[in-house]
Structure 1
Amino acid sequence: MVDEMPPTKLNKHEQRTKETRELLLQAAEKVFVRDGYEKADLAEIAEIAGRTKGAIYGQFKSKEDVFLALIEATALRRRVTMRDLLEDSRSTEENIRILRKFLLSLAKDEVWSLLILEFKLYAIRHPEARERLLDIYKRMRPQDEETEYIAHLGKPPRGKQSFTRTKAVHASFAVLYALQFEKTFDPHLFQLADVERISATVFDTLFGIK
Structure 2
Amino acid sequence: MAAARRVFARDGFEVARLQDIAEEAGKTRGALYSHFANKEDLFFALIEEHIAADGEFYRTRLTPESSREEKVAALVDHMEAMLCDRKRVMLYLEFKMYAIRHPHEQERLAELHSALCMKGMDAKLHLVPELFEPNSEKRRAIIAAFGAVLDGLALNLYFDPGALSREEVRSRIEQMVRERVA
Please give the TM-score of this superposition, normalised by the length of structure 1.
Answer: 0.66
After superposition, the Cα gap between the structure-2 partners of 1:180 and 1:94, relative to the gap in structure 1 and judged at 3 Å, is: same
Paired residue for 1:7?
none
After superposition, the Cα gap between the structure-2 partners of 1:78 and 1:55, relative to the gap in structure 1 and judged at 3 Å, is: same
1:30, CA displacement in angstroms?
Answer: 0.6
After superposition, the Cα gap between the structure-2 partners of 1:49 and 1:130, relative to the gap in structure 1 and judged at 3 Å, is: farther
After superposition, the Cα gap between the structure-2 partners of 1:138 and 1:26, relative to the gap in structure 1 and judged at 3 Å, is: same
C-alpha distance in 1 between matches for 2:26 and 2:19: 11
After superposition, the Cα gap between the structure-2 partners of 1:171 and 1:53, relative to the gap in structure 1 and judged at 3 Å, is: same
**In the alignment, does 2:14 pair up with 1:46?**
no
Quote the RMSD (CA, aligned, Å). 3.4
Q: Which ranges in structure 1 are unaligned for 5 or more consecutive residues? A: 1-24, 157-163
After superposition, the Cα gap between the structure-2 partners of 1:174 and 1:79, relative to the gap in structure 1 and judged at 3 Å, is: farther
C-alpha distance in 2 between matches for 1:77 and 1:105: 12
C-alpha distance in 1 between matches for 2:167 and 2:67: 29
Equivalent pairs: percent with the same residue? 31
Aligned length: 174
1:77-118 superposed Cα distances (whole Å, 9 cap, x missing partner): 212322332236444553334323322333322322221111
Q: From 54, 64, 67, give the equivalent of 2:43.
A: 67
1:14-66 superposed Cα distances (whole Å, 9 cap, x missing partner): xxxxxxxxxxx110111111111111121121111121111111111111211
Does 1 or 2 have the higher relative contact order (CA < 8 Å, sep 6+)? 2
After superposition, the Cα gap between the structure-2 partners of 1:103 and 1:58, relative to the gap in structure 1 and judged at 3 Å, is: same
Paired residue for 1:131?
108
Greater CA radius of gyration, 1 or 2? 1
After superposition, the Cα gap between the structure-2 partners of 1:166 and 1:114, relative to the gap in structure 1 and judged at 3 Å, is: same
